[in-house]
Amino acid sequence: MIFDKPVEKWKIKKDCLRLILEASKSSYPREFAALLRAEKDIITELILLPGTISGDSHAIFQFHMLPIDFSIVGSVHSHPSPFANPSKADLSLFNKKGMVHIIVAYPFDERSWKAYNWKGEEIEIEVVD
């Protein structure tokens, strides 16, 4: 989907958020990383990009493996620490790829994630059924 106007308020499906939290827990202490797919303004799915490298303090996407898919709107990754604030590397990624980005921090629950726009500014995402 090509977005013809900026999204005012992003939403995320509850099941998608649960999957993100569980994948982050499962990957701990390594970072989990995926891309976000949306239908209109609702994030609905995760895209696991082949070749993504996950370490204790980083996750590196292999963007040459990125399919041509205009429904991919951003990224999600976990931090094995209790801090969901973006690093300099995160901000660089946000600025280059996508409109919305989620960081999930330890302990990977409904209260330990934050969302950011492409400029690295914190935004609110509504969780929907």
Kindly list the averaged pLDDT for each block of 10 residues, start to end, along the chain of length 129: 68 98 95 94 90 65 75 95 95 92 97 97 97
Domains of the chain and CATH, by start: 10-124 (3.40.140.10)
* 3-state secondary structure string across the chain: CCCCCCCCCEEEEHHHHHHHHHHHHHHCCCCCEEEEEEECCEEEEEECCCCCEECCCCEECCHHHCCCCCCEEEEEEEECCCCCCCCHHHHHHHHHCCCEEEEEECCCCCCCEEEEECCCCEECEEEEC
pLDDT at position 104 is 97
pLDDT at position 64 is 65
pLDDT at position 56 is 67
pLDDT at position 27 is 93
Catalytic residues: 31
pLDDT at position 58 is 63
Q: What is the pTM of this model?
A: 0.89
